[in-house]
Amino acid sequence: MTQSRSALQITEGHDLSGKVCVITGASSGLGRESARALAAAGAQVILAARNSDALTETARWIRAEVPDARTSTVHLDLTSLVSVRAAATEIRESSPVIHILMNNAGVMFTPFGRTRDGFELQIGTNYFGHFELSRLLIPQLAAAAGARLINLSSGGHVLGDVDFDNLNWEHRDYDKFVAYGASKTANILHAVEADRRLRDSGIRAYAVHPGTVATSLARYMSRSDYSQLRRYAVAGSAARGESTAGYLDFTTPENGAATQVWAAISPELADRGGLYLEDCAVSDTVAPYACDAERAAALWALSEKVCTTS
Ligand SMILES: NC(=O)c1ccc[n+]([C@@H]2O[C@H](COP(=O)([O-])OP(=O)(O)OC[C@H]3O[C@@H](n4cnc5c(N)ncnc54)[C@H](OP(=O)(O)O)[C@@H]3O)[C@@H](O)[C@H]2O)c1
């Protein structure tokens, strides 16, 4: 199903003045649209990404669309924990209170590579960098007394589970589809455990599937990758007895960003968390291995260990 409302429509009627939102990967696609919608409702938006020129351009674009927008930019390269820590320090210094942290940045189906800290590139960028950023911002989120942590996951989490014994593809041949799936599974497990650990500090966490959205995320995909994925998705739907009509139909970034913005502000989610969201609703399409509480706790413990020793 494709989302029929835009992110801007989701924020209509909401007054977010006084709220501080941090969005990673805000220089493009869903992050950029989310930033515009939240800024339009009066939030102060901290745009974080690795390309400083693209961030400046995004801030200019938002101001052209929303003349009284309040934005600032922070350099963040999720492939380096040194950069993540520097970005967290900069954010903490400017913002003692953070109401929304949207872990949105991501890469998909990259050729095999490693981050500066030795993580496989997809899980390192999509998960470990965000785990560390979120961990370092917990006091500022807690200070909001009602913060939300939103992790961009994907329906593609069904392509692969987290392999706790071989997180970084040291002992098996690399499969870019499975590696993306594992990173997006990790984003869900992170939300589940973050919600359990942090709810008493007023922080609720969510994982979001935005739909299939025409953005630059597909930059590493070939035509045959697309066909292979489509066959896989259609077979999966058919096996579950679901309609395959419109499967993998693309929506626009304006509409694709609706669910993550809904996750950030909807009163319907008050006092709830640890949920997988899709189409501006709680979804039950999440794979059981991706929302298992014990595995979520184990991944958190392991991530804390590897991030603090890297
Ligand atoms: N589009 C979809 O159909 C879809 C479906 C399911 C889930 N998602 C998820 O939605 C999120 C947003 O994706 P999108 O579709 O908006 O893609 P996008 O247009 O490619 O945006 C991704 C953003 O992440 C940034 N980024 C990538 N690597 C980074 C790094 N090492 N450090 C900091 N920032 C980095 C990119 O910056 P650069 O431009 O510098 O690379 C860009 O700003 C991703 O987490 C993705 O997995 C998307």
| Closest atom, ligand 1, to C-alpha of 24 | 34
Q: Is 27 in the pocket of ligand 1 (CB under 6 A)?
A: yes
Class of domain 7-217+252-304: alpha beta
- For residue 27, how far is its CA from the centre of ligand 1 (angstroms)? 9
pLDDT at res. 310: 76
With cut-offs at 50, 70 and 90, classify the pLDDT of residue 308: confident
Q: Is 215 in the pocket of ligand 1 (CB under 6 A)?
A: yes
- For residue 241, how far is its CA from the centre of ligand 1 (angstroms)? 31
- For residue 200, how far is its CA from the centre of ligand 1 (angstroms)? 31
Catalytic annotation present for 180: yes
**Residue 10 region, left (φ>0) first, then alpha (ψ -120 to 50), else beta?**
alpha
Percent of the chain at pLDDT > 90 equals 87
Residue-wise pLDDT for 164-220, tens only, equals 999 999 988 999 999 999 999 999 999 999 999 999 999 999 999 999 999 999 899
Q: Is 52 in the pocket of ligand 1 (CB under 6 A)?
A: no
Q: Is 30 in the pocket of ligand 1 (CB under 6 A)?
A: yes
> Which one from 180, 206, 226, 247 is the annotated catalytic residue?
180
With cut-offs at 50, 70 and 90, classify the pLDDT of residue 135: very high
- For residue 281, how far is its CA from the centre of ligand 1 (angstroms)? 22
Q: Is 210 in the pocket of ligand 1 (CB under 6 A)?
A: yes
Ligand 1 pocket mutation pick from 50, 79, 185, 221 by most atoms within 8 angstroms of CB: 50
pTM score, two decimals?
Answer: 0.96
Q: Give the mean pLDDT of the chain.
A: 95
- For residue 150, how far is its CA from the centre of ligand 1 (angstroms)? 14
pLDDT at res. 246: 58
Q: Is 108 in the pocket of ligand 1 (CB under 6 A)?
A: yes
- The residue ranges of every structural domain in the chain are 7-217+252-304
